[in-house]
Structure 1
Amino acid sequence: MASNPYNVVTESIFSKLDYSNFSVNFSTPPIVFVCGGPMLPVPGSLRERVFRYFANDDSDNISDHLIAAEEFKDYFQDGAYDDLMEFEDDIASISTLVIIFLESAGSLVELGLFCNRVELKDRLIVFVPSEELAEKDESTPAYSSFIYLGAMKSLKRRNETSVKVYPWVRSGVMQYDELEFVVNDIKTKLSSVKKTDKFDRNNSGHMAYLIHDIIRLCEPIKLGEIEMALICLDIDVSTRSVTKSLYLLQKFKLVSPYEYSGSKYYYVNDETLSKINIGRTNNGKVFDFPNLKVQVRTSFVPALTSIEDKKEREISQKRFNALKKIIEIRKKDVPVI
């Protein structure tokens, strides 16, 4: 039984919730995982041009949510992942959209990993060089390549909008007449993606989003406290699973760690962002996030608590001090308009 006021409050909150009532928000903000050719030099790959396009003209607020595959080159470090297939599973589950530009050896590997995932049939778009599908010689007629007969045909059968074919960019040549079409294809695909989904505790992407919202309510929060919140929800997962979710959430810039006095706390980068619709509590009440957030904060603010145990007082003071620093960090990260 928890004795620290913070633990008492948080465990009480999550014990009154039923995850079968939850739903997941995929669209705000979107998470777009992008595979393709090298990002340098400029002008270079089609992927690089698409990133540059959105960076210069981001009226749809997509630029900050494009994540290059290279961002995850350290996925095996710190024990987050030791299996590429497991990593790709989780990427597929958490991403709003997966984009593959077939212009490198790595992108061919990504195509092989993602193309047969049924759950991605509406959340995957592949851009293919028309030169790849053209007739090579008499023995290799048009549309007879391994890529087309295999992955491309399978993808188009499941969803016609999953494959787009264009003449490809030429390295070192800035002009590319098809760029606007490629960008519009991405925007259209993104707008057609399913916006919400019923929460599934066996879906690693859903679990990552749930952990995000646990952090949002209870920040600053430690790893073990996240695990306890999940246990109170009757969701028993391994520490490694939670660690993997935290790794992905950090890479997608949704949460950040903050170390204070030997403890690592987690906080959300955007306090206004919610990824889980909680619905109603077990007793039929509306989940009142603002009021519950105040309850959590009040539980560790020294001036508002009367904790007699010296060690517990110190724990609360450290959490409060960490929160003050986190608030300062977030203020620095907010752009001035």
Structure 2
Amino acid sequence: MFREIDLKFDDKRTTHLAKISLDKSRVDLSSPIVFLCGGLVDVKQAKTPSIRDAFLRYVSSIECNLIDQITLAEEFKDWIHDSVYKDLLDFENDIAHISSLIVIVLESPGALAELGLFVRNKVLNKKLVVFVNDKHYSANSFVSLGPLRYLEAIKDKTVCAYPWDLENIDESLGDSLPEMREDLLAAMSGMDNSEAFDSGNDGHVSFVLYEIIRIFRALKVSEIQTYSKYIGLDLKLDKVKRLLFLLTKFELIATGKRGHDLYYYPLTDVDKIHFGGHFDKNEAKVATMQFYAFNDSESRRFNFIKGLQKKEKEGAL
């Protein structure tokens, strides 16, 4: 008779994480996220309510891939109801950190506030592109002489001026819309494909959390916080939840329950961080799945992952 072999695999998740060097890691920027700020967007209105709305309608009408890369703060309407954020500016600040490019259409008091917020930040002001009315750009105003000139001194082609009339948007902006698209695409093409990891950049930190989830397939929020410490990120739980909320809204991760356990799992297989050090991502993934599969204590998590894999095959995810 053959004796039944009881296979057991050790939990090597922290062992693999210990091989990561964040100082030698790089952030992958090859899949850009564009954060577009400005006036009201409302596709239900027959009359175009803002320059930003007109630009979005134009990009969508010509079936440009750019539309899939644009993010609006309005898409996150439940930000306050989830009690993750208490302040809109803090919320937009975190979105801006995750974004590759921040485009501000300078047409409203809110856009002016956003410009003031972002232009003072040394990380964010390098990502800025501003669309402004040509008359306002030429005028000797505080905005033109202050923030806009400051941005132009930091980086060329960050301020773009076009003729428009807010009382007659469609007619006054018609010729400028293709130019706005060209200028935005040019700004995107001039971006680096990667940059060194910076622990002071919350966008970079959020991508590390995404990669940890992607490697280990299904994690509780407390585990995500613990594993981030193993690679040198000592994050408070409130901040972890805040960044996970944003990753969820950007559809990089999602949550699901198995019994009473809530797991975060990846929705994409896109690289966001290339870890430095002696870390082997594939080896870590295989070792982790072996641990889940052959240890009774992880049966709930393993069954949850099997359920995800089944949905992926059926095209439900």
Q: For residue 149 of structure 2, what is the amino acid of its counterpart? A: K
Unaligned runs of 5+ in 2: 1-7
- Structure 2 CA distance, aligned partners of 1:65 and 1:333? 23
Q: Write the mapping of 1:206-217 to structure 2, written as runs, cut at 5 A.
A: 206-217=204-215
Partner of 1:30: 32
Deviation at 1:11, TM superposition (A): 1.7
Q: Write the mapping of 1:231-246 to structure 2, written as runs, cut at 5 A.
A: 231-246=229-244
Does residue 96 of structure 1 match 2:78? no
- Structure 1 CA distance, aligned partners of 2:140 and 2:280? 58
- Structure 2 CA distance, aligned partners of 1:145 and 1:114? 19
Count of residues in Structure 1 that have an aligned counterpart in Structure 2:
304
Partner of 1:8: 11
Does residue 280 of structure 1 match 2:284? no
Partner of 1:195: 193
- Structure 2 CA distance, aligned partners of 1:131 and 1:6? 68
* TM-score for the superposition, normalised by structure 2: 0.86
Percent of residue pairs bearing the same amino acid type: 32
Deviation at 1:270, TM superposition (A): 1.0
Unaligned runs of 5+ in 1: 134-141, 282-286
Partner of 1:222: 220
Partner of 2:285: 293
Deviation at 1:130, TM superposition (A): 2.0
- Structure 2 CA distance, aligned partners of 1:114 and 1:6? 49
- Structure 2 CA distance, aligned partners of 1:244 and 1:7? 32
- Structure 2 CA distance, aligned partners of 1:186 and 1:245? 27
Go from structure 1 to structure 2 and tell me whether the alpha carbon gap of 1:104 and 1:329 turns closer, same or farther (over 3 Å shift): farther
Deviation at 1:267, TM superposition (A): 1.4
Go from structure 1 to structure 2 and tell me whether the alpha carbon gap of 1:264 and 1:148 turns closer, same or farther (over 3 Å shift): same
Give deviations 1:52-84, integer Å, cap 9, x for gaps. 33334455x332221112123433333322244
Does residue 108 of structure 1 match 2:100? no
Q: For residue 183 of structure 1, what is the amino acid of its counterpart? A: R
* TM-score for the superposition, normalised by structure 1: 0.82
Give deviations 1:280-300, integer Å, cap 9, x for gaps. 32xxxxx33223212212221
Conserved 8 A contact 2:26-2:197: yes
- Structure 2 CA distance, aligned partners of 1:204 and 1:6? 35
Over aligned residues, Cα RMSD in angstroms? 2.4
Q: Write the mapping of 1:33-72 to structure 2, written as runs, cut at 5 A.
A: 33-40=35-42, 41-42=45-46, 44=48, 45-58=50-63, 61-72=65-76
- Structure 2 CA distance, aligned partners of 1:220 and 1:6? 18
- Structure 2 CA distance, aligned partners of 1:53 and 1:328? 39
Partner of 1:318: 300
- Structure 1 CA distance, aligned partners of 2:209 and 2:23? 16
Deviation at 1:192, TM superposition (A): 1.2
Give deviations 1:260-293, integer Å, cap 9, x for gaps. 212221112112x111111332xxxxx3322321
Give deviations 1:86-132, integer Å, cap 9, x for gaps. 33442332210001111222212211211222223331101001243
SS at 2:227 equivalent: helix
